[in-house]
Amino acid sequence: MKMFSIKSIPVWVVLFFIITSCAKPSEPSIFNEALSIEFVFPTGGYARDISVSDSLLFIAEDQQGFSIYNYLTRTQICHFDTLFITNPVPFENVRKIVAVDEENLLFVYDKYGSPASINIYNITDKSEPDLIFQIDGETSSVYQMEAFASDSYGGILFWTNGNNFLYGLCDSTWHPQSVTKLIFQNSISGFDMNEEYIVIAAQQYGFHIVDKDNGEVLSTTDTPGEALDVKIVDNYACIAIREAGLAIFDISDIANPEMVYIKDIGELIYTIDAENDYLVLSSHAGGIYLFDISNIENPGYLGKVDKDDIGYTYKAVLKNGKVFAATRQGVYIFDIND
């Protein structure tokens, strides 16, 4: 085996490693020309999911419950690791979290609780979340959970569970009578929606486009790989297709979507997000990948951050021009270097 001595390494390389080895996690550190670390929020458990508002970061910390941070001031508002304030039963595995910050609602999914449940909190006082309802039906295996402000109620919650797509209304409590369930023939995963329709990743079936008003399946389109997550950008559906990478479909003709782009990333891709001219993918063992989608039919690959740098990665989110990455080491905030 060939051995290297310090003398055989250029001086600039030695200086580079000395400088970067002295950097603290919260100090800027450039991994490539596209991304640099702004800050790191370490977590007690794995950061399995995140929800990001204009100032707040909500983290699902698996066996350690959940936390709320103000990421602008970099301060922790609360860490909550019990299901009931009056009965300190630890969370089993907090796997999903989503906030409707403007309505002071927080939804927290405990996958292996007794029972598995979506727990709804009033977060008017974010330092002391107040449990207002526990949904324990159709919650055995939630893949994705999203919530939005509603015109008629405080919020509307959507989630996928097995081969079911469900949604219902919530204000000061949950309204079980409002729950609607769409049943598919196969398991479904991630989803996204606009004012007219919902696009649902249907794993080995590809993706469904569903009428938002009546739940009718308008089309089903096969994908080269297993469709796990989706993001709608104008008239395009950007699909995370696990072993096949990234695919983009023109869905202007809802009945006949047309694939206009595909890229094999070389890693298994699980989540996708987009904002303005950027798209980000997360790969558990492969880190995160950033693209410029100003020309969405021909995205430009900008760079990646490897698992070796940030840890095993569960999710990446774009918000206000920054990338938030949920990993086993915590949550990283990246600046995008234009």
pLDDT digits (tens, 9 = 90+) for 109-137: 999 988 899 999 999 999 999 999 999 99
What is the 8-class DSSP label of residue 55? S
Which amino acid is present at 264? D
Domains delineated in the chain: 65-183 (no CATH), 190-338 (2.130.10.10)
Residue 131 and residue 155: Cα distance in Å, rounded?
Answer: 15
Residue 191 and residue 284: Cα distance in Å, rounded?
Answer: 19
pLDDT tens, the chain, 338 aa long: 332 222 333 333 333 333 333 333 333 344 567 899 999 999 999 999 999 999 999 999 999 999 999 999 999 999 998 665 555 556 889 999 999 999 999 999 999 988 899 999 999 999 999 999 999 999 999 999 999 998 888 899 999 999 999 999 999 999 999 999 999 999 999 999 999 999 999 999 999 999 999 999 999 999 999 999 999 999 999 999 999 999 999 999 999 999 999 999 999 999 999 999 999 999 999 999 999 999 999 999 999 999 889 999 999 999 999 999 999 999 999 999 87
Listed as own residue / partner, the contacts of 287-291 with beta carbons closer than 8 Å and 24 or more positions apart are: 287/313, 287/325, 288/35, 288/313, 288/316, 288/323, 288/325, 289/265, 290/34, 290/35, 290/323, 290/336, 291/246
Tracing tokens 């979340």 back to the chain, one arrives at 129
Q: Tokens for 315?
A: 């999710």
Query: What confidence score (pLDDT) does residue 8 get?
Result: 33
Residues contacting 304, CB < 8 A, separation 6+: 32, 286, 287, 288, 289, 290
Residue 205 and residue 186: Cα distance in Å, rounded?
Answer: 8
Query: What confidence score (pLDDT) does residue 31 get?
Result: 52
Query: What confidence score (pLDDT) does residue 18 get?
Result: 32
Residue 187 and residue 176: Cα distance in Å, rounded?
Answer: 23
pTM of the model: 0.88
Query: 238-250: b or e for each residue (b if 16 or more CB lie within 10 Å)?
Result: bbbbbebbbbbbb
Residue 305 and residue 310: Cα distance in Å, rounded?
Answer: 7
Query: What confidence score (pLDDT) does residue 16 get?
Result: 34
